[in-house]
Structures are given as structure tokens and as C-alpha cells.
Amino acid sequence: MKSIFGAKRPKATGRTHDFSRGNMWGWAFYPTEIIDGGRSIKGHGFGPRISSGDWVIVPNGTRTTRYLIVTIETVRDPDDMFFFTAVFDPRTAPEPSKPSPELTISRNE
């Protein structure tokens, strides 16, 4: 499946970079273009080495939102700066666990 950026949607790497606490020196994520109501974004940031297929968690009002990095371009000066395109990739709720049939809970009555 292709993203709106024309690049193939990458397979998720499983790595997550959490920018939800806001921007600070050397750790920042700046969406500069919001596309299709937030389904896709472009921008730049500073911080860890992010790869295509990594997730980023970003603030969204009082909550957070997860995006999947589609393309990433790093620069040499400053060496922690990057430009990105990303697509909305909501987290999925984990499956509720079922108790083991061997497990019984007893109450003292």
C-alpha cells in the first residue's frame, strides 16, 4: 500500500520514539505540514536516529497520537537533525487476556 507521499508504506520496525513530553534542546519533533486532516504529516526534528518504519508518539492536545515514519532524511549539520514524512498509525488495543483454566481464585468467606 502506498502512502500519499508516493513511497511504499514501510513495515513497522517496532521501535518507538516518544516526543509526547514536548520539545526540548536536542529532542524535538516539528510537524510543519498537516495533510488530509492529520492522516499524514511532514516536518523536521532533532534527536535520535529515526528510521523509516519507526513509530513516533507526539502530543495531540491533552492526549497523544502515533505516526509511522515513511521517509526520513538526516543532515550533517547539525548531525541530529532530520526531515520526515509520516502517516497516522493508531495504536491498537491489546487483546484481553483470558484466565487460564487451571487458575482459580478463591475468597476466604
CA-to-CA separations, 92 to 65, 66, 83, 95, in angstroms, rounded? 12, 10, 27, 9
Q: What is the pLDDT of residue 67?
A: 96
- Determine contact, residues 47/80, Cβ cutoff 8 Å: yes
Q: Kindly give the parts of the chain with pLDDT less than 70.
A: 1-7, 93-109
Q: What is the pLDDT of residue 48?
A: 86
CA distance 106 to 109: 9
